Structure 1
Amino acid sequence: MQMEAQRVKIVDGGKLVIPAAMRRELGITTGDTVLVDVDDGELRVRSVPKALERARAILRKYVPEGVGLADELIAERRREAERE
């Protein structure tokens, strides 16, 4: 469910106050680091855990469950080292 847009002001230093309900929806609290970007002329704000969750979901389309990319990379490097 998409939250309804709200009007907010930009204050000194370019700071934007995110309404409390939106912070709760995003799961962010004071002191958290968030990711911001501009997408097609719109400002997007994402929590780091949410961004990681999305990245993992994208990777899962290409990497089967239970396959560790780090383990595969290490094994590949060992095979290359043995050939040298």
Structure 2
Amino acid sequence: MTYHAKVIAGGKIVIPADLRREFGIKDGDMLILERDAEGGLSIMTFEQSVRDSQRRARAIFGSDYSVDQFLKDRRADWGEE
């Protein structure tokens, strides 16, 4: 479905209520705006950004790679183990 948003005074974007409800966006929430490869604009919630980062990390390191394993590997690189 396509939605339209209006830019009002001060560069504020009015996000349609249906989308705010669907994505759980509340007053004061932080949103991430990002240019995409085609020159477009992507808007996501902070939680969506975290999940995307986690997905990218799993693609690189695998799903069984933990923070503990990462730290162990770094310590080994630094000669601490």
Structure-2-length-normalised TM-score: 0.74
Give the percent of matched residue pairs that are identical in Structure 1 and Structure 2: 29
**Aligned-partner Cα distance in 1 for 2:17–2:48:** 18
Q: RMSD of aligned C-alpha atoms?
A: 2.1
**Aligned-partner Cα distance in 2 for 1:43–1:62:** 25
What are structure 1's unaligned runs of at least 5 residues? Answer: none
Which consecutive segments of 4 or more residues in structure 1 shift more than 6 A?
A: none
What are the superposed Cα offsets for residues 13-71 of structure 1, whole Å, 9 maximum, x if unpaired?
11111111111232211111110122233221100111111221122223233321x32
Q: How many residues align?
A: 78
Structure-1-length-normalised TM-score: 0.72
What are structure 2's unaligned runs of at least 5 residues? Answer: none
> Which structure has the larger Rg over C-alpha atoms?
1
